[in-house]
Amino acid sequence: MRTGKKIKTGLLAALFLPLFLFPPGTQAFCGEKSLHRAPQVDSLQMEERIRALQEALSSARDSVKTLQARLHSGQGETGDLRKQIEEKDRRIRALVKDSTSFSKTIDKLSAKVDKAGVKDMEARITQLEKDIADASRASAATLALKDSVIASLEGELERRDKLLSDMGAFKDVFVSKVLSDGKSYLEKPFSQMDTLYMQEVIHECGVIQDNSDIAALGSSFTDMLGKKLSFDTLSEKVSSPLGREELEGAKALCSELLSGCPSPQQPEVKALDDAFSKYDKALGYLQGIMKEIQSVLEPYRSRTDNIEILGAVAKEDIDMVLSKEGNQYYRDKVFAAIPFFRKAYADYVKELGQSPHEVPSIEKLVIEMNL
Question: Helix H segments across 186-265?
Answer: 195-207, 212-237, 244-259
Query: pTM to 2 decimals?
Result: 0.54
Residues 193, 228: contact at Cβ < 8 Å?
yes
Residue 335 burial (10 A CB sphere; 0-12, 13-18, 19+):
buried
Q: How far is residue 278's CA from residue 272's CA, in Å, rounded to a whole number? A: 10
Question: Helix H segments across the chain?
Answer: 2-21, 27-30, 43-73, 78-110, 115-185, 195-207, 212-237, 244-259, 266-301, 307-322, 325-329, 339-354, 361-368
Core vs surface per residue 268-305: b (16+ CB within 10 A) or e:
bbeebbebbebbeebbebbbebbeebeebbeebeeeee
The pLDDT value recorded for residue 246 is 96
Residues 93, 132: contact at Cβ < 8 Å?
no
Task: Decide: helix, strand or coil at residue 160.
Answer: helix
What is the number of residues in the chain? 371
Measured in whole angstroms, how far is the alpha carbon of residue 229 from the centre of its chain?
Answer: 32
242: left (phi over 0), alpha (psi -120 to 50) or beta: beta
Block means of pLDDT (10 residues each) for the chain, 371 residues, are 40 39 42 40 65 74 69 58 69 64 57 55 75 76 74 68 51 73 94 95 86 93 97 97 96 95 95 96 96 88 68 82 90 95 95 87 94 83
The pLDDT value recorded for residue 10 is 42
The pLDDT value recorded for residue 16 is 39
Measured in whole angstroms, how far is the alpha carbon of residue 50 from the centre of its chain?
Answer: 60
Measured in whole angstroms, how far is the alpha carbon of residue 303 from the centre of its chain?
Answer: 77
Q: How far apart are the first and last CA of the chain?
A: 153
Residue 195 half-sphere exposure toward CB, CA atoms < 13 A: 9
Residues 54, 119: contact at Cβ < 8 Å?
no
Task: Name the packing angle between helices 307-322 and 339-354 (round to 10°).
Answer: 150
What is the DSSP code (8-state) at residue 338?
S
Nearest to 186 by CA among 217, 213, 232, 211: 217
What is the DSSP code (8-state) at residue 33?
T
Task: Name the packing angle between helices 115-185 and 212-237 (round to 10°).
Answer: 50
Nearest to 95 by CA among 57, 51, 43, 44: 57
Q: How far is residue 316's CA from residue 39's CA, in Å, rounded to a whole number? A: 151
The pLDDT value recorded for residue 47 is 66
